[in-house]
Amino acid sequence: MSRGEEPIYSEYETDTSQTSKLIRKFKETPFVPIGMAGFVAVVGYGLYKLKHRGNLKLSLHLIHMRVAAQGFVVGAITCGVLYSVLQDYVLKPKQ
C-alpha cells in the first residue's frame, strides 16, 4: 500500500480485541445472538424434558428437539433479513 492510500477496511482493522469485534457484529446483525440464544434455550429445554418424555422413543424426542431448534434459528434469520430489508430499502432516506 502506498502512503497516500487509506486501507479499504479501516474500520475493521481498528478493532483489535475479539470482544469488540463480537459486539460490533451483534450491533450490525441483532438477530444472530437472538437466534443463538433461542437455539441454546430450545436444546436446554429439550434436554430437561428428556427424563419426562413418557413412552416417546429417544430418537423421536431428539428429532423433535432438533426441528424446534432449527425452526427457531431459521425464524431468527428470516426476521433479521426482513429487518435489514426494511432498514435499507423502506426506511432509507432518499438521496
The per-residue pLDDT for range 17-35, each reduced to its tens digit, is 888 887 887 887 778 788 8
pTM greater than the 0.85 cutoff = no
The per-residue pLDDT for range 43-76, each reduced to its tens digit, is 889 888 888 888 889 899 889 989 998 998 899 8
Using alpha carbons, select from 88, 70, 81 the residue that is nearest to residue 31. 81
pLDDT, residue 4, reads 59
Distances (CA, A) of 18 to 34, 63, 65, 71, 81: 19, 35, 32, 29, 25
- Confidence check: pLDDT of 6 > 60: no
88: which DSSP letter?
I
pLDDT-derived band at 95 (thresholds 50, 70, 90) equals low
